[in-house]
Structure 1
Amino acid sequence: AHSEVPVKPASRETAMELLETMAVRSRAEAGVIDYRVTVDLEDPNTFRIIEQYEDEAAFESHESSTHLDRFQSEITPCLAEEAELTRFTVTSETALPGP
Protein backbone atom coordinates (compact mmCIF):
# COMPACT_ATOMS: atom_id res chain seq x y z
CA ALA A 1 0.00 0.00 0.00
CA HIS A 2 1.04 3.58 -0.56
CA SER A 3 -0.34 6.58 1.35
CA GLU A 4 0.16 10.21 0.42
CA VAL A 5 -0.12 12.50 3.45
CA PRO A 6 -0.10 16.25 2.66
CA VAL A 7 0.38 18.34 5.81
CA LYS A 8 0.10 22.02 6.65
CA PRO A 9 3.53 23.67 6.79
CA ALA A 10 2.87 24.87 10.36
CA SER A 11 2.05 21.28 11.41
CA ARG A 12 5.01 19.60 9.71
CA GLU A 13 7.05 18.89 12.87
CA THR A 14 4.04 17.48 14.72
CA ALA A 15 3.12 15.36 11.71
CA MET A 16 6.68 14.02 11.48
CA GLU A 17 6.57 12.89 15.11
CA LEU A 18 3.18 11.22 14.63
CA LEU A 19 4.35 9.48 11.45
CA GLU A 20 7.55 8.25 13.08
CA THR A 21 5.63 6.79 16.02
CA MET A 22 3.15 5.18 13.65
CA ALA A 23 5.94 3.60 11.61
CA VAL A 24 7.66 2.12 14.67
CA ARG A 25 4.40 0.70 16.02
CA SER A 26 3.35 -0.66 12.64
CA ARG A 27 6.69 -2.40 11.99
CA ALA A 28 6.22 -4.21 15.31
CA GLU A 29 2.95 -5.80 14.14
CA ALA A 30 2.86 -9.46 13.16
CA GLY A 31 2.76 -9.87 9.39
CA VAL A 32 4.24 -6.48 8.53
CA ILE A 33 7.16 -6.90 6.14
CA ASP A 34 7.94 -3.18 6.00
CA TYR A 35 6.38 0.17 6.86
CA ARG A 36 8.36 3.25 5.81
CA VAL A 37 7.65 6.97 5.86
CA THR A 38 9.38 9.15 3.28
CA VAL A 39 9.35 12.84 2.41
CA ASP A 40 8.55 13.99 -1.13
CA LEU A 41 11.67 15.73 -2.54
CA GLU A 42 9.55 18.14 -4.58
CA ASP A 43 7.11 18.96 -1.76
CA PRO A 44 8.59 18.58 1.73
CA ASN A 45 5.09 18.94 3.23
CA THR A 46 3.98 15.71 1.58
CA PHE A 47 4.85 12.46 3.29
CA ARG A 48 4.50 9.02 1.74
CA ILE A 49 3.95 5.80 3.64
CA ILE A 50 5.08 2.62 1.87
CA GLU A 51 3.54 -0.48 3.47
CA GLN A 52 4.17 -4.16 2.76
CA TYR A 53 2.31 -7.05 4.40
CA GLU A 54 2.70 -10.83 4.34
CA ASP A 55 -0.96 -11.38 3.48
CA GLU A 56 -4.51 -10.03 3.60
CA ALA A 57 -4.91 -10.97 7.27
CA ALA A 58 -1.89 -8.85 8.24
CA PHE A 59 -3.24 -5.88 6.27
CA GLU A 60 -6.68 -6.23 7.88
CA SER A 61 -5.11 -6.51 11.33
CA HIS A 62 -3.20 -3.29 10.74
CA GLU A 63 -6.30 -1.52 9.44
CA SER A 64 -8.22 -2.41 12.61
CA SER A 65 -5.39 -1.63 15.05
CA THR A 66 -5.87 0.77 17.95
CA HIS A 67 -2.71 2.70 17.09
CA LEU A 68 -3.98 3.34 13.55
CA ASP A 69 -7.25 4.75 14.94
CA ARG A 70 -5.30 6.99 17.30
CA PHE A 71 -2.92 8.08 14.54
CA GLN A 72 -5.77 8.99 12.20
CA SER A 73 -7.46 11.17 14.80
CA GLU A 74 -4.16 12.86 15.79
CA ILE A 75 -2.94 13.49 12.22
CA THR A 76 -6.25 14.89 10.92
CA PRO A 77 -5.71 18.44 12.28
CA CYS A 78 -2.27 18.46 10.61
CA LEU A 79 -3.57 17.66 7.12
CA ALA A 80 -3.56 20.24 4.34
CA GLU A 81 -6.01 18.03 2.46
CA GLU A 82 -7.32 14.49 2.73
CA ALA A 83 -4.71 11.73 2.75
CA GLU A 84 -4.94 9.14 -0.03
CA LEU A 85 -4.31 5.40 0.27
CA THR A 86 -3.61 3.21 -2.76
CA ARG A 87 -3.56 -0.52 -2.26
CA PHE A 88 -1.68 -2.89 -4.57
CA THR A 89 -2.00 -6.67 -4.88
CA VAL A 90 1.35 -8.12 -5.91
CA THR A 91 1.64 -11.67 -7.20
CA SER A 92 5.35 -11.69 -7.96
CA GLU A 93 8.47 -9.62 -7.51
CA THR A 94 11.57 -9.35 -9.69
CA ALA A 95 14.69 -7.47 -8.62
CA LEU A 96 16.16 -5.36 -11.41
CA PRO A 97 19.35 -3.32 -11.59
CA GLY A 98 18.59 0.28 -10.83
CA PRO A 99 18.20 3.16 -11.28
Structure 2
Amino acid sequence: MLVVHATFPIDPDNRGEALDLIESLAEDSRQEDGVIDYRVATDIDDSNLFRFFEQYEDEAAFEAHAETDHFEEFERALPDLLAGEPEVTRFDVEDASPVEL
Protein backbone atom coordinates (compact mmCIF):
# COMPACT_ATOMS: atom_id res chain seq x y z
CA MET A 1 0.00 0.00 0.00
CA LEU A 2 1.10 3.54 -0.71
CA VAL A 3 0.09 6.37 1.63
CA VAL A 4 0.49 10.07 0.85
CA HIS A 5 0.16 12.93 3.32
CA ALA A 6 0.18 16.37 1.73
CA THR A 7 -0.36 19.84 3.13
CA PHE A 8 -1.35 22.84 1.06
CA PRO A 9 -1.34 26.34 2.62
CA ILE A 10 -4.06 28.22 0.76
CA ASP A 11 -4.24 31.99 0.39
CA PRO A 12 -7.29 33.13 2.41
CA ASP A 13 -8.41 35.27 -0.56
CA ASN A 14 -8.60 32.12 -2.69
CA ARG A 15 -10.09 29.78 -0.07
CA GLY A 16 -13.53 29.53 -1.72
CA GLU A 17 -12.12 28.62 -5.12
CA ALA A 18 -9.66 26.18 -3.54
CA LEU A 19 -12.39 24.54 -1.47
CA ASP A 20 -14.54 23.95 -4.58
CA LEU A 21 -11.61 22.37 -6.41
CA ILE A 22 -10.56 20.28 -3.42
CA GLU A 23 -14.09 18.96 -2.81
CA SER A 24 -14.39 17.96 -6.45
CA LEU A 25 -10.90 16.41 -6.48
CA ALA A 26 -11.58 14.33 -3.37
CA GLU A 27 -14.97 13.12 -4.58
CA ASP A 28 -13.65 12.13 -8.02
CA SER A 29 -10.48 10.57 -6.58
CA ARG A 30 -12.48 8.28 -4.28
CA GLN A 31 -14.10 6.77 -7.39
CA GLU A 32 -10.79 5.73 -8.98
CA ASP A 33 -9.71 2.10 -9.21
CA GLY A 34 -6.95 1.36 -6.72
CA VAL A 35 -7.80 4.21 -4.35
CA ILE A 36 -8.40 2.81 -0.88
CA ASP A 37 -9.21 6.16 0.72
CA TYR A 38 -8.85 9.83 -0.12
CA ARG A 39 -9.64 12.40 2.57
CA VAL A 40 -9.02 16.10 2.98
CA ALA A 41 -9.30 18.09 6.21
CA THR A 42 -8.49 21.57 7.35
CA ASP A 43 -5.93 21.98 10.10
CA ILE A 44 -7.39 22.73 13.53
CA ASP A 45 -4.89 25.57 14.05
CA ASP A 46 -5.10 27.05 10.54
CA SER A 47 -8.31 26.71 8.51
CA ASN A 48 -6.40 27.70 5.37
CA LEU A 49 -4.07 24.70 5.65
CA PHE A 50 -5.55 21.68 3.88
CA ARG A 51 -4.28 18.21 4.77
CA PHE A 52 -4.66 15.40 2.26
CA PHE A 53 -4.60 11.75 3.41
CA GLU A 54 -4.46 9.38 0.46
CA GLN A 55 -4.21 5.58 0.38
CA TYR A 56 -3.54 3.61 -2.82
CA GLU A 57 -3.37 -0.12 -3.42
CA ASP A 58 -0.03 0.25 -5.20
CA GLU A 59 2.28 2.45 -7.26
CA ALA A 60 0.22 1.92 -10.42
CA ALA A 61 -2.91 3.32 -8.73
CA PHE A 62 -0.96 6.35 -7.51
CA GLU A 63 0.48 6.98 -10.97
CA ALA A 64 -2.96 6.59 -12.58
CA HIS A 65 -4.35 9.16 -10.13
CA ALA A 66 -1.72 11.69 -11.21
CA GLU A 67 -2.88 11.29 -14.83
CA THR A 68 -6.60 11.96 -14.21
CA ASP A 69 -8.32 15.07 -15.50
CA HIS A 70 -9.46 16.10 -12.01
CA PHE A 71 -5.93 15.88 -10.61
CA GLU A 72 -4.45 17.78 -13.56
CA GLU A 73 -7.11 20.51 -13.15
CA PHE A 74 -6.19 20.89 -9.48
CA GLU A 75 -2.47 20.87 -10.27
CA ARG A 76 -2.89 23.63 -12.90
CA ALA A 77 -4.88 25.85 -10.51
CA LEU A 78 -2.71 25.25 -7.44
CA PRO A 79 0.07 27.85 -8.01
CA ASP A 80 -2.51 30.67 -8.00
CA LEU A 81 -4.16 29.36 -4.81
CA LEU A 82 -1.16 28.82 -2.57
CA ALA A 83 0.06 31.03 0.27
CA GLY A 84 3.26 29.02 0.76
CA GLU A 85 5.04 25.84 -0.19
CA PRO A 86 3.13 22.56 -0.15
CA GLU A 87 4.63 19.58 1.62
CA VAL A 88 4.10 16.04 0.35
CA THR A 89 5.30 12.89 2.10
CA ARG A 90 4.98 9.40 0.70
CA PHE A 91 4.90 6.24 2.81
CA ASP A 92 5.37 2.73 1.41
CA VAL A 93 3.44 0.50 3.81
CA GLU A 94 3.71 -3.27 3.99
CA ASP A 95 1.09 -3.81 6.68
CA ALA A 96 -1.62 -1.79 8.40
CA SER A 97 -4.12 -2.73 11.08
CA PRO A 98 -6.66 -0.91 13.24
CA VAL A 99 -5.61 0.29 16.67
CA GLU A 100 -7.96 -0.39 19.57
CA LEU A 101 -8.68 2.71 21.66
Is the shorter-chain TM-score for this pair beyond 0.5, marking a shared fold? yes
Provide the C-alpha distance between the structure 2 equivalents of 1:94 and 1:28, rounded to a whole number of angstroms.
Answer: 23
Q: More displaced, 63-72 or 22-31?
A: 63-72
Q: Which runs of 5+ in 2 are unaligned?
A: none
Query: What is the RMSD computed on CA atoms of the aligned residues?
Result: 1.1
Provide the C-alpha distance between the structure 2 equivalents of 1:68 and 1:82, rounded to a whole number of angstroms.
Answer: 18
TM, length-normalised to structure 1: 0.92
- Please say if 1:17 is aligned against 2:20: yes
2:7 maps to: 4
Of residues 90, 93, 98 in structure 2, which corresponds to 1:95? Answer: 98
Provide the secondary structure at the position in 2 that maps to 1:88.
strand
Deviation at 1:82, TM superposition (A): 2.3
1:57 maps to: 60
Q: More displaced, 31-40 or 67-76?
A: 67-76
1:77 maps to: 80
Provide the C-alpha distance between the structure 2 equivalents of 1:67 and 1:94, rounded to a whole number of angstroms.
Answer: 30
Q: Over residues 33-72 of structure 1, what are the superposed CA-to-partner deviations in whole Å (9 max), with x where a residue is unaligned?
A: 1111100001111000100011111011112222211111
Provide the C-alpha distance between the structure 2 equivalents of 1:69 and 1:93, rounded to a whole number of angstroms.
Answer: 30
Of residues 36, 39, 46 in structure 2, which corresponds to 1:33? Answer: 36
Q: Which runs of 5+ in 1 are unaligned?
A: none
Provide the secondary structure at the position in 2 that maps to 1:57.
helix
TM, length-normalised to structure 2: 0.90
Higher normalized strand content (fraction of residues)? 2
Q: More displaced, 43-52 or 69-78?
A: 69-78
